[in-house]
């Protein structure tokens, strides 16, 4: 029996295997390589996908959700360009790719595609939310791309404004800049956008947002008041204690009363 080649030679053999000549063969080959996660097979998988998943290839990979999930299970950051391309695939495959990019931190090269998916998917909540998370993972480049690409008017799609309020609570853009943007959204005509902005200000944790959030405690919509109360506790707005006590005791909605009471407990714990 011939000796098995050492691991380095095996890697070379895997890399040099001929590309499949049909879509079904390509799919089977990719699935086979995904069943094991040793470095040699991951390298071979990357090499195979680079050769067959491009316009000039003899056999395109017939991507579906099962195949995309199999690749994602073994993928590392070298697979980011492939996952970015899959964002334009049919919805089930695009969702798998977007979720994976949110974990792999795609970097500046993915931003243009992610912004296009983000701004073009407001009618599909699941895709839109997945694109939002992937953009947050892309870092400062995503902020630089979004600011000029999104219509910053109150007439813009309210769902897009709401998503942007969510995004700036988590984006890598510096707290001062985020607070300035979120302050605009806190005066949005849509109550849901205001509520999202209040929650995002709480996530930022900047005490300078305290006065804005105190004013939001008087908003007619209980969702805005509840999110503002929670945010006041998170930013350490001790000057809002009396307002929060009033809300905890007298607001007509239990969600607001409970949020105000929880904020008071958080502020009291922070003083210890």
- Fold adopted by 177-272: 1.25.10
Give the separation between CA 170 and CA 166, rounded to whole angstroms. 7
The full set of domain ranges for the chain reads 7-62, 177-272
Model pLDDT for residues 171-214, shown as the tens digit of each residue: 988 888 899 999 999 999 899 999 999 999 999 999 999 999 99
Q: What percent of the chain has a predicted confidence (pLDDT) above 70?
A: 86
| pLDDT of 14 above 90 | no
Residue 66, C-beta contacts closer than 8 angstroms, at least 6 positions apart: none
Task: Tally Cβ neighbours within 10 Å of residue 190.
Answer: 16
Phi-psi region of 187 (alpha: psi -120 to 50; beta: other; left: phi over 0): alpha
Q: What is the DSSP letter of 19?
A: P
Give the separation between CA 21 and CA 15, rounded to whole angstroms. 16
Average pLDDT over residues 201-228: 96
Please give the mean pLDDT across all residues of the chain: 87
Give the separation between CA 50 and CA 5, rounded to whole angstroms. 25
Nearest Cα residue to 97 out of 106, 111, 87, 89: 87
pLDDT at 12 (0 to 100): 41
Give the separation between CA 186 and CA 22, rounded to whole angstroms. 55
Q: 58-71 as b/e, with b when 16 or more CB fall inside 10 Å? A: ebebebeeebbebb
Model pLDDT for residues 28-53, shown as the tens digit of each residue: 989 998 988 888 889 999 888 887 66
Q: How is residue 156 written in tokens?
A: 């813009």
Per the listing, tokens 């070298």 go with: 78
Average pLDDT over residues 214-225: 96
At 23, the pLDDT band (50, 70, 90 cuts) reads confident
At 272, the pLDDT band (50, 70, 90 cuts) reads low
pLDDT at 149 (0 to 100): 65
Task: Estimate to the nearest angstrom the gap between the alpha carbon of 146 and the chain centroid.
Answer: 14
pLDDT at 165 (0 to 100): 93
Model pLDDT for residues 76-86, shown as the tens digit of each residue: 999 999 999 99
pLDDT at 148 (0 to 100): 74
Model pLDDT for residues 92-120, shown as the tens digit of each residue: 999 999 999 999 989 899 999 999 999 89
Query: Which one has a higher pLDDT value, 214 or 55?
Result: 214
Q: How is residue 157 written in tokens?
A: 């799609």
| Strand ranges, E, within the chain | none
On the CB side of 22, CA atoms within 13 Å amount to 3
> DSSP characters for 126-189?
HHHHHHHHHHHHHTHHHHHHHHHHS--STTS-HHHHHHHHHHTTT-SS-HHHHHHHHHHHTT-S
Give the separation between CA 138 and CA 171, rounded to whole angstroms. 9
Q: How is residue 221 written in tokens?
A: 């919509």
Give the separation between CA 132 and CA 150, rounded to whole angstroms. 13
């Amino acid at each position: 029996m011939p000796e098995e080649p050492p691991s380095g030679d095996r890697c070379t053999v895997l890399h040099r295997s001929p590309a499949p000549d049909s879509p079904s063969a390509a799919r089977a080959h990719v699935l086979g390589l995904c069943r094991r996660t040793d470095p040699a097979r991951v390298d071979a998988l990357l090499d195979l996908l680079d050769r067959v998943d491009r316009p000039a290839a003899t056999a395109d990979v017939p991507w579906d959700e099962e195949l995309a999930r199999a690749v994602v299970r073994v993928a590392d950051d070298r697979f980011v360009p492939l996952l970015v391309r899959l964002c334009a695939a049919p919805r089930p495959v695009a969702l798998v790719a977007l979720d994976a990019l949110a974990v792999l931190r795609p970097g500046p090269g993915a931003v243009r595609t992610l912004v296009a998916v983000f701004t073009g998917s407001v009618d599909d909540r699941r895709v839109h939310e997945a694109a939002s998370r992937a953009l947050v993972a892309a870092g400062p480049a995503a902020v630089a791309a979004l600011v000029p690409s999104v219509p910053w008017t109150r007439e813009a799609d309210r769902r897009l404004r709401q998503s942007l309020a969510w995004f700036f609570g988590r984006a890598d853009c510096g707290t001062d800049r985020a607070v300035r943007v979120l302050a605009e959204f806190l005066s949005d005509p849509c109550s849901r956008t205001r509520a999202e902005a209040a929650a995002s200000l709480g996530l930022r944790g900047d005490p300078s947002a305290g006065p804005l959030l105190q004013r939001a405690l008087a908003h007619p919509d209980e969702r805005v008041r509840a999110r503002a109360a929670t945010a006041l506790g998170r930013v350490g707005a001790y000057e809002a204690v009396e307002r929060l006590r009033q809300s905890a005791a007298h607001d007509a909605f239990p969600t607001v009363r409970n949020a105000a009471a929880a904020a008071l407990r958080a502020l009291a714990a922070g003083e210890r």
